[in-house]
Every structure is written in structure tokens, then in C-alpha cells.
Structure 1
Amino acid sequence: MEGKNKKATRTVTEKIEGAEKGHLGDMFEVAGWMESGRYSLNTDKAKAQEYYDHINENLQTKRPFFSSLELVNYKGIRKTVKKITLDPYLNIFVGVNGSGKTTIIESIVKASTWLVNGIKNRANGKGIHPAEINNSQDAKDCAITATLTLDEKSTFTLILYKNKNSTNKNRSSLSEFKNLAEMYYSLNSKYKGESCLPLFCHYSVSRALEIKTDDEQKNGEITAFNNLDGYSFSFEESRNFKNLIKWMLFCGSQNNDEVDDIKNKLSSLEVKYNTTYEIYNFLADETKEESSIGLKLKNELDELRMKIAEFQLNLNNVDGNIVSVVKKAIYKFMSIDNIRMKVDKDNVSILLDKKGITISATDLSQGEKALFSLVSDISRRLILLNPGKGIDALKGHGVVIIDEIDLHLHPKWQQEIIGQLQDTFPNIQFIITTHSPQVLSTAPSHCIKVIRNDENGILNIVEPEFSLGSESDMILEDIFLVNSRPENIEQVKMLNRYKDLIELDKWDTDEAEDLKKELDKWAGKHDPVMKKLQMDIRLREFRRGKK
């Protein structure tokens, strides 16, 4: 018992020191102890409230992001050579199929569930399932260690642990993430659902399949939404498009009520203004300028004009409050406009104009559906989690995880997607995977995490030396370690042999001449390498002639 007390005292002392230094998690725990007098602390409700106020203020402004990740015997990964360091804004994981990209993504999702479930209803997140432990015979212990950072003083670490021997003591460390979730939960409760909360969500490769004809909403009861609905199905294979329609329908009904209220108040003001103006206009000019009644009526007319102008502005901005924020976000990514709802007797659907033609959202291409679903859902969730912020809701904080960002996208869109996401959602940490050189050419090299693992499942992360603005061929060869030309094509084999002969100064042999004829038939004057080889031959001829 004495040892246990000593350990508790040491922990308490450390956390008190951490609170004094500004660690928000320590502040939250110590404030609770001060309220109750726990651990022999003097009850100090004033100091506790001071800590709570500081926490609430910082939670609204600090931007959470995952800063590191470490895996041991999780699925196909035996061990990370060292902690994976994550950029606060952008992380792009690349590697061959089966290298561990999805495993890394899933581990971050699993860690995120401890925050989302805790913020929503004080529930636990997902643990490690026995089937997720690496199958190697000597792999007994499985662990995921994730660290989330709020600022330089406040970091929170989660350790998920599982042993193949289910009777072994659980060595998971959950308290820091659970405390952080409780901090956000308390903040949201205090402000009755009007506080800003961070977004955590995951988009799998099935997102393009979410926009289906059968997702059109039945025209019936309108579903109400609150800010915590920004977390609904945030990690599930969900029907986000269906939720978008429900949300737009709800917002539309809210707007209709708001419009009616504004119109009624505006009508009353206009009646009052007209009546007052008639009385004022009936007065003689001298009375208007000099009498107290004239001046009083004039001031009243000025006030009424200002109120009428304010209500007219509110009337114009009703649709601009929420739904149009999502529309504007989508317009940044896609060449469509006039997104609107069609409500008929049986169904509610989303229509839009594309190249001057009205179509349903269900008629978009797979790439367009993937983009529409992704952007609209991130926007909708940020608006729900940041109530009352309007267009600034898109500046909300959080972590968005996207598997295969290039899914179904044309190469031009692949080159644009990263910049557009960061411009539209500037305070989100994006953690994504890709197989696209076009995507990597728009990202700084320190944001790219190249996965290298050996036959034993030991994983190492390498950051390339150069990527931003690089040509796709260079990225293919330097980062993906793939030849820019398919080596199994017969013409490519011929080209490589022709290059070898030129380097050996045998460009004028019968073999080289025959190869050139075949290659000319294949590529003509279109291949830049053939052009360079002909220039090389001319230089070699010149040098040979000088000898």
C-alpha cells in the first residue's frame, strides 16, 4: 500500500506541475481534484474554475493534429523502425500494394474513435481485435501508440495494447485521450451544443459508390440535426449522400421558418414606417424642423429605416447561412453550378447544372461522385461542428483521413485536389494515401511518407528529397521506384537495346540500324528519348570525325 501511495503522490505532483506549466490535460485533471479535495489537495473552487475557463478558451482556438504514430505487430506490420512523425497539415502515404498504407490509416482511425465516441456520449473507442495481431509465431504483443498535439505544451498519447494470451493484463493507456474527449464533452455541455468541436472522419475507397438513385430521400418527416451529428458515421461505410439530402431538407425547413418570421417582422415595420411617415408629412415645414414632435417623428423614421434595411439584409442572407456554404465549397472543385433540391410528391433529390444542362447528382461520373461526396460531407460536418460560424465553419479544426485520394479522378484533377482541399479547409490535417505521381507533384517532400518494409514486416518511412513541382516521370522512378516506361513491352526492350548500342558507339551497326527502323515505325517523331538519341549520335559522329 505504501508503494502505491508513493506512486500516486508522484503522479499527482507531476500533473500539478504540468498544470502550472499550461498542459491542458493536466489542468483538467487537477481542476477536478481541486473541486473535490482529492489527493489531500485543499479545495479551491476558484482556482479550479480558473483552470476550466483557460481550458475552454484554448479548446475553441487550438488546432488538434496527430503528431506521431508507432505500431508493433499490428496486422501485416511487425514494427515501425522508429516513430512515424506526422506533419500538422498534410501527410501522404505511398507504397506498393500490401506495403501497409491502409494499416497505417486504420490505426489512426482506431485512435480517433476514442475521441469521437467520448465527445459524443462519453463512450469508449475501438480496441485491437485478436484477429488484428500479426500472425507471426513470435508476435505476442500488439500495440498502437498515437500522439495528438494541441500546442507545444499539450500533447495526449493513446496506447492500445493486445496480447494473444487473453488472460494477460491489459497494458493499454487510455486516460489521456479519454480526458481530452471529456474536456470537449464538458465544453459542449456548458455551451448547450453551441461550442466549436474538432472534426475526425475517414473516407474509404467506397465513397464514389455512395451516390445512388436509391439514396434519394423519401418526402416525409424532416430529421432534425444538432452539432454532434457532425460525428455521425464518421468512420463507417456510410451513406453520406443520403445524410446530405436529409440535412439540406432540414436546413430548408429551418430557412422557411426563418424567412416567414423575417417577412412578418419586416411587414410590421413597413406598416409602422408608412403610418409614421404620413403623420410626419402632414406636419407643416416649420413644425417638422422646430417642434419637439417633428424631431421625434424624424428620429423614429430614421430608426425604422435602419431596422427595415437590417431585416431586408437578413432576408437576402437566409440561404447564405448554411447550405450555400456547402455549395460554394463544391463549386471550387467542380465545373457545376446551381445545386438545388427537387421536392416532388414522393422523393427529394439533388439537381445541378453541368455545362448548361440540368442533371441529377446521381448522374455524375464516378470521379465527380467521389469528389462531390467527399467535399460536401467534409463541409456539412464542419458546419454542424461549428454552429453559427457561417462560411468560417470551413476554417474549423480537425483530422480528415482519405484512402486513395486519386480515386476515379482525371490526372488534371489529381494535380489540383491537394491544393483545393487545403485552400478550402485550411485548418484540417489531411492524412491520405495515393498511387498518383500527379498528386505527389503538388506536395512538399516533407509531407510525403514513402513506406519501405522488408520481408519480415519491419517498416521504415522515408521522405523523398524532391517532389513539389516535379515531373511525373521523375516521381514514378524516384519515389515509386517504377520505370516510367513499361519494361515488359517489346518496343521498350528494343529502345533500351538501341540506347545500349549508342553508348557503346555502335549506332551504325546493322543491329542498330534495324532497331532504329523499327523504333521509327513505332514512335515516329513523337518520342522525346528518340530525339535525344539522334542528337547524341550526331555528337558522337562529330567527335569520331575529329579523331
Structure 2
Amino acid sequence: MNDLGVYLDKVVIENYKCFSGSFLLNFSVQGKVSQWNVILGNNNSGKTNILKAIAQLEPHFLIHKEGEKKCIPIVAIDSDYPHKNTSKNFFIGASFLYSDKKNNHANLKGPFKNYKRTSSNKIHKYFGIEDSKSFVNILPWGFSREAFTGGDGDILENFVIFSYGVSRKSGSKGLSIGSNKFQKKSNLLEPETQLINIEEWLLQLDYATKNGNKQAKNQLKKLKELITTDIFPGITDFKFISNEEDGNIVLFNSQNHWRKLDELGYGYQTTFAWIFDFCKKMFDRYPTSKNPLEEHAVLLIDELDLHLHPSWQKSIIKYLSRIFPATQFIVTTHSAYIIQSIPNINLHIIQNNEGNVTITQTDLSTYKGWSFEEISENIMGLNEGKFSEDFIKLVQRFEEYLDDNNKKEAKIIFDKISQIIHPNSPEKRIFQIQLNQISDD
């Protein structure tokens, strides 16, 4: 492993699952890696399929007698490859940017070089098929039903990719579930996938620390520092205790009350699960680093906002950016607060109209000055606006009675509006003024 940070530049998806035709996603802007890449779309629009496609770009390394490091996409070692259940014309591929970390630890700042496939990194074909996809010949990394690329292991061994689906549960069977190095990253996007057992891992770190293990001591210190950043609102510390009833357990300080992990809210449990699982993977990947959490990685998260209160949705981005400064995030969301909170966002919007899928990359790099309603209506396509359907219907009836100068009926509707509208709403004051302008005749 050398001092290169490898990131996704572009990804091409063609005829994969719900995506009929070719789709390009850019994860860099003007030659610089974008740290926060957000994929927005309605339910069943294909957001998760994009993450699954990207996860399959994980490299698998081969041993060569000449000592040369070579790699191929990990899907190529599957027993059922080429995938018979995919379109004959399907393709998933990518280009990469990489940088030298020696002079810039948080190497998302670059400068970056383009990864290029050398002449020795051949395209491998199946069944003697010679008319492989043109994209396989153009992009330096990828695979189709007919062929896959070979890669330069000296560079691509630094392409570190992890993923988390909507089922983010702390494991109950020890550390092996979440730390198996042979487990494909795409598997973590599947339902019911369990991550590491957080409590068991912390107890092991505590035990190793007490026995003089410096690496465990450093990891425990980093996790303590992570807790104090307020990334978990109201959680300020954790400690280890032993008693006859529970044995050795971990307690978390939640608003000055010590609680077990399973006594915390579900949003806390699931967020602890994926963040601590990711921390362990980074510790395992970079065992000699002074701070493994600041090393490079590509992280896929499906529905980042899941189970988070809106105030937590608004704050979690800044903490993730600080704790993992060299991680390239590719996330899906349904949250206007997530979009609003990212200072430099690379936003892709998916629209699926009766099977006709489009992906649009927006021009703006920030929505921090946009209101929740403006993002909901103009970016997320929530045309109904900020008010409920019932409220809108009442307002329409109120305006009709105003047009007819029917103060009696307008007053009845106004009273109904007053029962459901915010008591200090400016709209209520406007409705009152409009009502008062009608004579009592």
C-alpha cells in the first residue's frame, strides 16, 4: 500500500436494473474530487441501484509470478459471472482521480492525476465475444456481461470503498459479521445486513488497552474524541462497567444519564452502528496511521437522513466532514435539510416517469441560502408547497367567498382555517385583513 488516495471521477451505468440506456454521473468538479455527492429522487427511482452499481466496482487483486500487482473488478470472481439475469448490453464502469498524500494528509484537496489503463491491463472477454462494449475500451475500469478490465494494482489497491444500506443494525454475534475482509462491499447494501457488535468491540478495545496495547489505546482515544464532537446530539461519553446482572457492559452518557446502547433511540442505535462500523474498517485498513479516520476512502450511504430528527439532519454533515476529511461521500437522501446543510454539494437528481429515467446534475454548488420550502418545491419537486392539501382547499374556498363578497360564508371558512394554522402565521393576519374589507351587508 502506498501513499495515494484514489477517488471516483466519473461513473457510467448502462442498461442496469431500472436504467435503460446510458447514464453518466460526475463525482468531480473541474478536475477536483467532490467530497459530498448527493443523489436525490423519489422512492423507486433507482437511487439504491446506483449505489449497488458503484459498490461492484470494488477491485479484487491477483497474484502474478512476475511480482506485478494486477486487479480485476470483484464481480469477475463470482461463480455466476457473467450475470445471465442482466441485459446483454449492460455495463458499469468508472474513471478515477488520485493524489499523493505525502504533502497533504487530507488529500481531497489534490492536486489530482487521471488514472489511465496501461497497455498491459487488458480487456478480458468471455466466450470468444469480440464486440465488447465501447465503454469498456474507453473507461479505464469496468465490466459488462461480455468483458471486464484489468487494472494497475499499485494504484487501485488504494481505491478503498465501503457501503451502508438502509438496514444499519449493530451485530449480535461478535466482530466477524462486520469485519470480514472478503465480504463484498455491495453486500452491505442488502436488507438485514448486520454490522459489527459495537459493545463487544469497545469491550475488546478496553481490555487490550488495560493490557498495554498501544494501538487499541489510540483507537479508543479516537472514538472518545469522536463522541465529544456532538455528532451524536446529547451523547457526551461512554464508559465500561461490570456487575453481576449484566457482566461487562458499555454505557453511554445521554443527557447526564448513563444508558445501554439498546436503551437509546433507534436513530442513535442505527447511526452508532454504521459510524462505528466504518471507524473499525478504517482502523483495520490503516493500522499504522496516526489517525486512520483522516485517511482516504469512498463511502456509500443509502438514505443518510434515515431515522434522524431534522435538527440532526442539519448538523451531521459538518461533523462527518471534520471527522473524515479525506472521505468521498456518495449518499442518497429524501431530506431538504441534508441538501441545505452541505456547503459544496454535487447534486444529482433522478426522475423516473413511468420507466423513463433521467439523471440531472445541478449547476449550483450550495443551497445554504435556500429555504426548506424552496428546496422542497424547486429541487425535490414537491409542487403542493409548504401547506397541507386540506389547508389549500380551505384557502381556495375562502378566496371564492371573498370574490362573491359573501362575508358570512367567508367567516365560517376563516374560523376553520384558524383552527389548523399556526397562531402567529402571517397568512392568518392577511386572511383577517381580507375578511374585514368585506362589508357586513
Superposition TM-score tier, normalisation by shorter sequence? 0.7 to 0.9
Q: Partner residue of 1:372?
A: 272
Distance 1:257 1:492, change over 3 A: same
Percent identical residues: 20
Match of 2:84 among 121, 130, 137: 130
Q: Partner residue of 1:331?
A: 228
Match of 2:94 among 112, 125, 146: 146
**Residue 240 (str. 1) matches residue 195 (str. 2):** yes
Question: C-alpha separation between the residues in 2 aligned to 1:84 and 1:501?
Answer: 51
Distance 1:411 1:148, change over 3 A: same
For the residue of structure 1 that corresponds to 2:308, the secondary structure is coil
Alignment of 1:450-469 (within 5 A): 450-463=349-362, 465=364, 467-469=367-369
Distance 1:251 1:473, change over 3 A: same
Instruction: Kindly state the Cα deviation for residue 343 of structure 1 after the two structures are TM-superposed.
Output: 6.1
Give 1:77's aligned amino acid: F
Question: C-alpha separation between the residues in 1 aligned to 2:254 and 2:96?
Answer: 42
Question: C-alpha separation between the residues in 1 aligned to 2:59 and 2:93?
Answer: 13
Give the number of aligned pairs.
387
Instruction: Kindly state the Cα deviation for residue 184 of structure 1 after the two structures are TM-superposed.
Output: 5.7
For the residue of structure 2 that corresponds to 1:330, the secondary structure is helix
Q: Is the CA contact 1:400–1:428 (under 8 Å) kept in the aligned structure 2?
A: yes
Q: Deviations over 1:362-416 (max 9, x none)?
A: 22211001111122122222222222323x2221101000000011111110111
Instruction: Kindly state the Cα deviation for residue 182 of structure 1 after the two structures are TM-superposed.
Output: 4.9
Match of 1:114 among 51, 59, 71: 59
Distance 1:535 1:67, change over 3 A: farther
Question: C-alpha separation between the residues in 2 aligned to 1:500 and 1:67?
Answer: 55
Distance 1:324 1:478, change over 3 A: same
For the residue of structure 2 that corresponds to 1:321, the secondary structure is helix
Q: Partner residue of 1:179?
A: 151
Unaligned runs of 5+ in 2: 29-33, 64-68, 77-81, 100-111, 118-122, 142-148
Q: Is the CA contact 2:59–2:156 (under 8 Å) kept in the aligned structure 1?
A: no
**Residue 71 (str. 1) matches residue 13 (str. 2):** yes
Distance 1:428 1:523, change over 3 A: same
Question: C-alpha separation between the residues in 2 aligned to 1:425 and 1:447?
Answer: 18
Question: C-alpha separation between the residues in 1 aligned to 2:128 and 2:153?
Answer: 29
Give 2:115's aligned amino acid: T
Distance 1:366 1:132, change over 3 A: farther
Q: Partner residue of 2:145?
A: none
**Residue 426 (str. 1) matches residue 325 (str. 2):** yes
Distance 1:229 1:248, change over 3 A: farther
Instruction: Kindly state the Cα deviation for residue 351 of structure 1 after the two structures are TM-superposed.
Output: 2.4
Give 1:98's aligned amino acid: N
Instruction: Kindly state the Cα deviation for residue 500 of structure 1 after the two structures are TM-superposed.
Output: 6.3
Report the structure, 1 or 2, having the larger strand content: 2
Match of 1:99 among 37, 41, 45: 45
Larger radius of gyration: 1
Q: Partner residue of 1:20?
A: none
For the residue of structure 2 that corresponds to 1:481, the secondary structure is coil
Give 1:179's aligned amino acid: G
Question: C-alpha separation between the residues in 2 aligned to 1:462 and 1:121?
Answer: 34
Distance 1:320 1:258, change over 3 A: closer
Question: C-alpha separation between the residues in 2 aligned to 1:467 and 1:435?
Answer: 15
Q: Is the CA contact 1:399–1:429 (under 8 Å) kept in the aligned structure 2?
A: yes
Question: C-alpha separation between the residues in 2 aligned to 1:456 and 1:338?
Answer: 48
Question: C-alpha separation between the residues in 2 aligned to 1:521 and 1:246?
Answer: 52
Q: Partner residue of 1:202?
A: 163
Alignment of 1:162-311 (within 5 A): 168=129, 171=132, 173=136, 176=141, 178-183=150-155, 199-207=160-168, 210-211=169-170, 214-215=172-173, 217=174, 234-237=185-188, 238-242=193-197, 244-245=198-199, 247-258=201-212
For the residue of structure 2 that corresponds to 1:431, the secondary structure is strand
Match of 2:219 among 297, 322, 328: 322
Question: C-alpha separation between the residues in 2 aligned to 1:475 and 1:94?
Answer: 12
Q: Partner residue of 1:155?
A: 115
Question: C-alpha separation between the residues in 2 aligned to 1:143 and 1:470?
Answer: 37
**Residue 512 (str. 1) matches residue 413 (str. 2):** no
What is the aligned-residue RMSD (CA, Å)?
Answer: 4.0
Structure 1 length-normalised TM: 0.61
Q: Is the CA contact 2:8–2:94 (under 8 Å) kept in the aligned structure 1?
A: yes
Give 1:202's aligned amino acid: S
Q: Partner residue of 2:379?
A: 479
Q: Is the CA contact 1:93–1:451 (under 8 Å) kept in the aligned structure 2?
A: yes
Instruction: Kindly state the Cα deviation for residue 472 of structure 1 after the two structures are TM-superposed.
Output: 1.4
Q: Deviations over 1:208-258 (max 9, x none)?
A: xx236x44x5xxxx99x9xx967756443443232x455445544543442
Structure 2 length-normalised TM: 0.74
Tell me whether 425-434 or 491-500 shows the greater mean CA deviation: 491-500
Question: C-alpha separation between the residues in 1 aligned to 2:61 and 2:433?
Answer: 62
Question: C-alpha separation between the residues in 1 aligned to 2:422 and 2:277?
Answer: 48
Match of 2:425 among 519, 527, 543: 527
Distance 1:155 1:438, change over 3 A: same
**Residue 84 (str. 1) matches residue 25 (str. 2):** yes
Q: Is the CA contact 1:74–1:132 (under 8 Å) kept in the aligned structure 2?
A: yes
Instruction: Kindly state the Cα deviation for residue 527 of structure 1 after the two structures are TM-superposed.
Output: 3.4
Q: Is the CA contact 2:203–2:250 (under 8 Å) kept in the aligned structure 1?
A: no
Alignment of 1:363-442 (within 5 A): 363-390=263-290, 392-442=291-341
Question: C-alpha separation between the residues in 2 aligned to 1:521 and 1:537?
Answer: 16
Instruction: Kindly state the Cα deviation for residue 67 of structure 1 after the two structures are TM-superposed.
Output: 1.5
Q: Partner residue of 1:313?
A: none
For the residue of structure 1 that corresponds to 2:74, the secondary structure is coil
Distance 1:145 1:531, change over 3 A: farther
Unaligned runs of 5+ in 1: 1-55, 134-139, 186-196, 260-316, 542-547
Distance 1:405 1:512, change over 3 A: same
Instruction: Kindly state the Cα deviation for residue 487 of structure 1 after the two structures are TM-superposed.
Output: 5.2
Q: Is the CA contact 1:445–1:463 (under 8 Å) kept in the aligned structure 2?
A: no
